[in-house]
């Protein structure tokens, strides 16, 4: 049974790889798993067939035989547990890699999402000029801490793991803000992630959707 994931039929990012299917594609590429992609429109995401897979009407979802999953944290963790390549064998190192996955999603991503909201969706609000610096400061606080932890290491805890995959994916959302530029070691860390052949394949695959290289469903 081939794994099937869902992705935006038309991603609002125009193929910059920022939608969350990219991190799932990346995990599948790192572990050498073939997969298919079902493209869904914004309308289809809110219809019963998709809501049966994803109660919040979002992408990505993951289907493999009888199993269907949503939430990228759960999906990447599942892929990493089932297939070699994303979690160390040593039990303690494995637990630490999983910790970094949670840290990426629960501690680093929230201020970044707030920042994206403030910069993109709230920028016309009368209070935007007051809120933005506060959100930037909260984001910088996390980046300061992460930068100190990473120091001059290549990855967060020894070898590349699902923790790095998730952290790099989360940090990529910051690029447009310019905030990452203030942290040379984090910028280099993200660039190392992007340089991985598996990331490149994942990025190219999602880009192919935006550029029309991948066939779209006839009607959706
Ligand atoms: N916590 C969930 C997870 O990690 O899986 C969040 C899933 C989620 O936010 N999915 C988004 C979605 O389906 C797409 S990735 N949104 C549609 C909806 O909620 O109706 C978020 C995203 C969207 C757009 C850009 N972009 O344009 O740059 C980047 C990321």
* pLDDT single digits (tens) 129-163: 999 999 999 999 999 999 999 999 999 999 999 99
Alpha-carbon torsion (30, 70, 175, 113), positive or negative: negative
Using an 8 Å Cβ cutoff, are 26 and 199 in contact?
yes
CA 123, distance to chain mean position in Å, is 24
Tell me if 70 is assigned to some domain: yes
pLDDT for 1: 84
Query: To test ligand 1's pocket by mutation, which of 8, 12, 20, 120 has the most ligand atoms within 8 angstroms of CB?
Result: 20
- For the segment 35-54, the average pLDDT, to the nearest whole number, is 98
**CATH for 62:** 3.40.30.10
Confidence of residue 36 (pLDDT cuts 50, 70, 90): very high
- Mark whether 114 and 41 lie in a shared domain: no
Confidence of residue 80 (pLDDT cuts 50, 70, 90): very high
- Mark whether 113 and 178 lie in a shared domain: yes
The CB of 12 under 6 Å from ligand 1? The reply is: yes
pLDDT for 213: 85
Asked if residue 220 has pLDDT above 90, the reply is: no
Report the chain's mean pLDDT, rounded to a whole number: 96
- Mark whether 76 and 156 lie in a shared domain: no
- Mark whether 108 and 179 lie in a shared domain: yes
- What is the domain extent for residue 126? 91-196
Tell me if 218 is assigned to some domain: no
The CB of 72 under 6 Å from ligand 1? The reply is: yes
pLDDT for 217: 53
pLDDT for 219: 43
- For the segment 155-184, the average pLDDT, to the nearest whole number, is 97
pLDDT for 216: 55
Residue whose Cα lies nearest atom 6 of ligand 1: it is 71
The span from the first CA to the last CA of the chain, in angstroms, equals 24
Looking from the CA of residue 71, the nearest atom of ligand 1 is 5
Token pair listed for 83 = 């297939």
């Amino acid at each position: 049974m081939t794994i099937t994931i869902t992705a935006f039929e038309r991603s609002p990012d125009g193929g910059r790889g920022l939608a969350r299917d990219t991190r799932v594609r990346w995990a599948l590429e790192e572990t050498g798993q073939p997969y298919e992609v079902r493209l869904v429109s914004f309308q289809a995401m809110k219809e019963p067939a998709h809501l049966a897979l994803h109660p919040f009407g979002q992408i990505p979802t993951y289907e493999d035989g009888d199993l269907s999953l949503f939430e990228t944290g759960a999906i990447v963790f599942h892929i990493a547990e089932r297939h070699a390549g994303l979690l160390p064998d040593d039990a303690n190192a494995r637990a630490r890699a999983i910790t970094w996955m949670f840290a990426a999603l629960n501690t680093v991503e929230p201020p970044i999402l707030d920042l994206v909201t403030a910069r993109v969706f709230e920028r016309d609000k009368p209070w935007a000029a007051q809120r933005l610096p506060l959100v930037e400061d909260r984001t910088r606080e996390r980046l300061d801490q992460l930068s100190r932890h990473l120091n001059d290491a290549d990855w967060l805890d020894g070898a590349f793991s699902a923790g790095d995959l998730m952290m790099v994916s989360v940090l990529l959302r910051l690029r447009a803000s310019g905030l990452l530029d203030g942290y040379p070691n984090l910028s280099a860390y993200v660039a190392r992630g992007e340089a991985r052949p598996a990331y490149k394949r994942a990025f190219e695959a999602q880009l192919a959707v935006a550029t029309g290289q991948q066939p779209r469903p006839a009607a959706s």
